[in-house]
């Protein structure tokens, strides 16, 4: 049973790698400009987060935030402000929907030992410490809704960094509750959440 | 903030003299203190410092989900407006969550750590907020909703909402304010009244709404919800 599962996994990885290979495989120039950093099949690469399977309204809202320089954390400023400066609205819309349609793969790179604690914090928050339940906005499987992002399967490093950045005073979407949320999280809670979420399919 | 600035500007115009200089300095100091106080409470520009003290921190926590002015929020679930709500109603709901007469796992978790005095303080704070309605309800049914709200549906044994909730939807005593309530929240509550409220065997005041909610069709519920969600 295990062996078959392993073989299927290999086949699946190869198949998905082939189907999302960027080099001239029918991908538009606009998409290639994104996957250059965001990884083959938009699954994320080092500091650039996975776009695959993300909420299209959220992708659009972040493109807007980059364009008006509202989202100002260092990597956004260094890379994304320039990346979207010439992006017109209809291309942004197409890109958002294209990436949303790609099945996401979980990063699975968190600390497994912390995942259970992370899940508890995600579902219940910590009311004694005024930490809200992430589930209330991001959904039971961290899938997001409308312009609230899918968090499930994002890279440990990315979630950890974003939570820390809000705590440090960086901004993203105007009116977002996230700065207030993140300001209450301590380092071990951040690591637990980031670990748990990196495993969520 | 604007007032403080214009006072300082007036003080720095014109007159000289020792007494005026001291007044200038005091006004400048006052402006600086006010500016710092207002800047600290603003969220856009600086490092988020979590509020010290029980009530302030707890209010920030509530407002994370219920809207920064208590106007409600659409997360994965719709979070209701608390602003302007009857304090007796908020207190009754928090107790209902704690005692599981109203089943909502998120709110049960939130409420069970609240002391009775904290519950009273929170309810009073939200009662005094008054942001504009959250909005976003479909327009087409508002007129039909107004008729149902004011006249009820006699043939369906549905009393006029206005009779208890008030002509302007502001509520009274334990009867909640509906004016400006989040549309999606109202629809969810009325369509699913019995699944969330009146759980367990203890007497629960929510029972009064059960027949009304049950007797309304979904489109009637949507119409009324659209109407009240627009009320200021």
Q: Identify which has the larger pLDDT, A174 or A25.
A: A174
A174/B47 CB distance under 8 A: no
Domain that holds residue B126: 54-229
B48/A183 CB distance under 8 A: yes
What's the mean per-residue pLDDT of chain A?
A: 90
B181 & B212 share domain: yes
Among the partner-chain residues A145, A169, A177, the one whose CB lies closest to the CB of B76 is: A145
Q: Identify which has the larger pLDDT, B36 or A110.
A: A110
B58 & B37 share domain: no
B48/A132 CB distance under 8 A: no
* Residues in A touching B50 (Cβ below 8 Å): 130, 183-184
What ipTM is given for this predicted complex?
A: 0.80
Quick check: is B66 in a domain? yes
Rounded Cα distance between B157 and A10, Å, is: 63
B85 & B28 share domain: no
Quick check: is B83 in a domain? yes
Q: What is the pLDDT of residue A63?
A: 96
Looking up tokens 């790179």 gives A109
DSSP E strands: which ranges in A60-149?
Answer: none
The 3-class SS string of chain A reads CHHHHHHHHHHHHHHHHHHCCCCCCCCCHHHHHHHHHHCHHHCCECCECCCCCCCHHHHHHHHHHHHCCCCCCHHHHHHHHHHHHCCCHHHHHHHHHHHHHCCCCCCCCCCHHHHHHHHHHHHHCEHHHCECCCHHHHCCCCCCECCECCCCCCCHHHHHHHHHHHHHCCCCCCCCCHHHHHHCCCHHHHHHHHHHHHHCC
Question: What letter does residue B203 receive in the DSSP assignment?
Answer: -
Number of domains in chain B: 2
Q: Are A33 and A25 in contact (CB under 8 A)?
A: no
Q: Which CATH superfamily is domain A112-199 in?
A: Cytochrome c-like domain (1.10.760.10)
Q: What is the pLDDT of residue A24?
A: 43
B107 & B18 share domain: no
In A136-175, the residues whose Cβ lies within 8 Å of chain B are 136-140, 144-146, 148, 166-169, 171, 174-175
B147 & B192 share domain: yes
B8 & B90 share domain: no
Distance from CA of B74 to the nearest CA of A (A): 8
B65 & B37 share domain: no
Whether pTM exceeds 0.90: no
Rounded Cα distance between A129 and A132, Å, is: 9
Quick check: is B47 in a domain? no
pLDDT classification of A141: cutoffs 50, 70, 90: very high
Residue A175 has pLDDT above 90, yes or no: no
B15 & B97 share domain: no
B37 & B95 share domain: no
Q: What is the pLDDT of residue B9?
A: 41
CATH number at residue B148: 1.10.760.10
B139 & B74 share domain: yes
Among the partner-chain residues A132, A145, A146, the one whose CB lies closest to the CB of B65 is: A132
pLDDT in tens, chain B (232 residues): 444 444 444 444 444 444 555 555 555 555 555 544 444 444 444 445 555 568 999 999 999 999 999 999 999 999 999 999 999 999 999 999 999 999 999 999 999 999 999 999 999 999 999 999 999 999 999 999 999 999 999 999 999 999 999 999 999 999 999 999 999 999 999 999 999 999 987 778 888 999 999 999 999 999 999 999 999 9
Quick check: is B48 in a domain? no
Minimal-distance CA residue of chain A relative to B75 = A137
Residue A11 has pLDDT above 90, yes or no: no
Q: Identify which has the larger pLDDT, B96 or A16.
A: B96
Structural tokens at position B198: 């009146």
B61 & B37 share domain: no
């Amino acid at each position: 049973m295990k062996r078959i599962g392993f073989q299927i996994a290999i086949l699946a990885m190869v198949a998905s790698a082939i189907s999302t290979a960027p080099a001239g495989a029918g991908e538009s120039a606009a998409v290639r400009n994104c996957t250059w950093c965001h990884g083959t099949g938009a699954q994320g690469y080092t500091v650039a987060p996975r776009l695959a399977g993300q909420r299209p309204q959220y992708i659009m809202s972040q493109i807007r935030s980059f364009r008006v320089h509202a989202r100002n954390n260092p990597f956004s400023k260094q890379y994304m402000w320039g990346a979207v400066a010439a992006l017109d609205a209809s291309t942004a819309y197409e890109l958002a929907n294209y990436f949303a349609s790609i099945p996401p793969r979980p990063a699975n790179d968190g600390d497994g030992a912390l995942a259970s604690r992370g899940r508890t914090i995600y579902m219940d928050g910590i009311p004694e410490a005024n930490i809200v339940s992430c589930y209330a906005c991001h959904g039971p499987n961290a899938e997001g809704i409308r312009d609230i992002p899918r968090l499930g399967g994002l890279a440990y490093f990315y979630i950890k960094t974003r939570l820390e950045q809000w705590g440090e005073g960086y901004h993203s979407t105007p009116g977002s509750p996230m700065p207030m949320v993140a300001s209450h999280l301590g380092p071990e809670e951040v690591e637990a959440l980031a670990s748990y979420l990196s495993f969520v399919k | 903030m604007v007032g403080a600035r214009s006072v300082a500007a007036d003080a720095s115009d014109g007159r000289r003299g020792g007494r005026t200089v001291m007044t200038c300095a005091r006004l400048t100091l006052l402006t600086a203190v006010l500016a710092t106080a207002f800047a600290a409470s603003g969220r856009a520009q600086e490092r988020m410092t979590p509020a010290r003290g029980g009530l302030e921190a707890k209010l920030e926590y509530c407002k994370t989900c219920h809207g920064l002015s208590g106007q409600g929020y659409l997360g994965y679930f719709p979070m209701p407006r608390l602003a302007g709500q009857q304090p007796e109603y908020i207190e009754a709901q928090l107790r209902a969550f704690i005692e599981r007469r109203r089943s909502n796992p998120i709110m049960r978790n939130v409420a069970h750590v609240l002391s009775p005095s904290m519950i009273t303080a929170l309810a009073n704070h939200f009662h005094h907020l008054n942001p504009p309605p959250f909005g976003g309800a479909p327009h087409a049914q508002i007129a039909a909703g107004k008729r149902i709200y004011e006249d009820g549906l006699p043939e369906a044994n549905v009393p006029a909402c206005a009779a208890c909730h008030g002509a302007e939807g502001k509520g009274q005593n334990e009867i909640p304010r509906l004016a400006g309530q989040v549309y999606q929240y109202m629809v969810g509550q009325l369509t699913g009244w019995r699944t969330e409220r009146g759980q367990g065997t203890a007497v629960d005041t929510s029972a009064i709404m059960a027949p009304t909610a049950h007797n309304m069709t979904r489109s009637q519920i949507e119409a009324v919800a659209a109407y009240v969600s627009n009320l200021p």
